[in-house]
Amino acid sequence: MESLKKKAEEIKSLKIQGATDVALSAIQFLSDYAREFTCSSVVDCINKLQIGKEILEDTRPTEPAMQNGLNFIMNKIRKCQGELCVEDVPGRIEKYKDQYEQLINDSKKRIAEIGARRIPMIKKDANKEKENSLHQDDDFVVMTHCHSSVVNAILLKAKEQGKNFRVVNTETQPKLQGRKTSRKLSKAGIEVIHIVDSAMRWAVKKYQVDLIIIGADSITSEGTVLNKIGSRLLALVAHEEHVPFYVASPLLKYQPITTLGFLEKIEMRNPSEVWKEAPKNVKIKNPAFETVSRRYIDGLITEAGIFASSHAHMYYQKFYPDLAE
């Protein structure tokens, strides 16, 4: 149990970042935990797994991809518990963990293929002078916010296809997750313009951004998206400047309990992330996420295709009926 709590702290402290990476790490930690404990019966094993699941879920309340993954494993193991003995449990957990990981990887690959089609193939003219213009016909500009492995997959796929574009990316205060995106894209040979969060509107106008794509940490039944704080600001800028605004996300980030009236939580993180030695009478608030209304989202890019975010529930039920139960 202590080993699991220590690993869970890696998620809570943001040592592990990005909704997809958090989900994959959580199911791996649960699988590792299943190999560590001893139990007297299969029911006892399931009870201990449930405790481990709750410890992992408590690390990040706004992470349905993680919650869906843990539920996927627990639902599977409960359905087949009658045919198992105690010794079988760790192996089954590992099997279901691998199945969920495959679902995530397959969805990311499919989203990358679909999303990359939104970036046009424009041939560069080597004879053109670019000094006098920030945007020419051979210069497509994509903007993103924070770090999303799914958005990165789209951009890397487009680069692999030989498409010419630049990326404007935010640093993403206070933990600077945007640097992770900038490093990964620049390493792949993509030109990245890295800006402070408060320069969003300036950058959209300055670089004549053609397309904005962000990731998602959660999608509700109403089509509202929760993502890193600053996402709604960027959506409003896109609306004001008439720039297409897309959210790229596996349907596994859909939060099914929102259909029952439950509201998705906004995680409030440690104030010390913002200011470690703030004056005594200064109160620091550090919300990790904010909502983006469906009216500002031109389309949700998923493994099922591109559609209005309000249709997420329908496609989630269709693609993942075991989780929709």
Active site residues: 146, 217
CB 49 within 8 A of CB 38: no
Pairing of strands 225-228, 218-219: antiparallel
Is residue 76 classed as helix, strand or coil in its secondary structure?
Answer: helix
CA-based nearest residue to 32, from 16, 11, 15, 8: 8
DSSP output for 12-64: HTTSS-SHHHHHHHHHHHHHHHHHH---SSHHHHHHHHHHHHHHHHTT-SS-H
- At residue 219, φ and ψ (nearest 5 deg) are -130, 130
Task: Count other Cβ atoms within 10 Å, centred on residue 215.
Answer: 28
Handedness of CA 237, 169, 310, 218 (dihedral sign): negative
* Cα–Cα distance for residue pair 150/18, rounded to 1 Å: 9
